[in-house]
Amino acid sequence: MIIPVNKPSGYTSHDIVAGLRRAIGGKVKIGHTGTLDPMCTGVLPVLTENYTKLSDIFPSDKAYICKICLGIVTDTEDITGEVISKSEVNVTEDEFKAVLSKFIGEIDQVPPMYSSVKKNGVPLYKLARKGVSVEREARRIKIYDIVYNGPLEEADTYSFTVYCSSGTYIRTLCADIGNALGCGACMGALERISSNGITLDRCYDYNDLLILAENGMIDKIAISFESAFAHLDVITIPESGRVYYLNGGIISASRIVGVELKPETDYIACAEDGLVLGLAHTDKGRSVKSLWNK
């Protein structure tokens, strides 16, 4: 199943997965597609059983609504951390809006110490909790767009929506924006409104999902595979090669009809009778191989 969770604040992503596992019961295999910090809310797709294999295949782009607090620097780069410094803010709204555009595009971002990124096999947050800071290599991420939403009621706080690639730390983006403005900044709140192609309006509150799971009804709200991957074109696997394909065999592009295959591209694979088989992938020569079987 693909369970679309609207994660509440105060829970780790692990808490959500563990709670749903208990509610569903049995030894169900379950996981999520991308961590949200405890203070953050919003879209957290949870996968069960065979669908857990889709975690690295989903569209990876994400979108967030962020509150940024200027003039405050913390050790975690968000408002929950220990305050390192406070500065007077002499930034106009126009100046804030102007600096956002400087972060659109491919940029290098240094992961924060309070993160799950590992250094010599040890998660950085474990080192940070011991007061240890280490050098981290910058990672190339992509900010597709940043939309300014306006000022908030609190002084020197603003809201913006960011559309970005997987692996982007919005906390670090806030800190970098603060550095660019010369006053420092931290993230004040964060809501993920889209993840892996699933939008917030398709998600259900966590507590409601627990009730559905306990009553054996959570499958009623699960997102179908076909819906989650509706952005992909469909190809038909010939009946004569169906078993061979499902067992890992490669099907020549010349045997696929109806679609001009593109190299290194994912497709929804169907049988000739219309049954959805799963995901297929083409190699450079456009031959087709199973990527995931439903």
Q: What pTM, to 2 d.p., does this model score?
A: 0.89
Where do the structural domains in the chain lie, given as residue ranges? 2-59+197-227, 62-195, 232-293
37 has catalytic annotation = yes
Q: Lowest mean pLDDT of 116-120, 135-139, 245-249, name the range.
A: 116-120
Query: For strand 234-237 and strand 266-271, is the pairing parallel, antiparallel, or unpaired?
Result: parallel
CATH fold for domain 232-293: 2.30.130
Structure token pair of residue 218: 């959570």
How many CA atoms, within 13 angstroms, populate the side-chain half-sphere of residue 190? 27
Summarize pLDDT for 19-28 with one digit per residue, the tens: 999 999 888 8
Return the closest-CA partner of residue 101 out of 144, 44, 40: 144
Interacting residues of 119 by C-beta distance below 8 A, sequence separation 6+: 127, 134, 136
CATH of 2-59+197-227, one of 3.40.50.300, 3.40.50.740, 3.30.2350.10, 3.40.50.10380: 3.30.2350.10
Structure token pair of residue 52: 């857990």
Catalytic residue, candidates 15, 37, 156, 201: 37
Summarize pLDDT for 71-126 with one digit per residue, the tens: 999 999 999 999 999 999 999 999 999 999 999 999 998 877 666 666 666 666 66
Q: Is the pLDDT of residue 57 over 90?
A: no
Summarize pLDDT for 256-293 with one digit per residue, the tens: 876 788 899 999 999 999 999 999 999 987 899 999 99
Same fold, 62-195 and 232-293: no
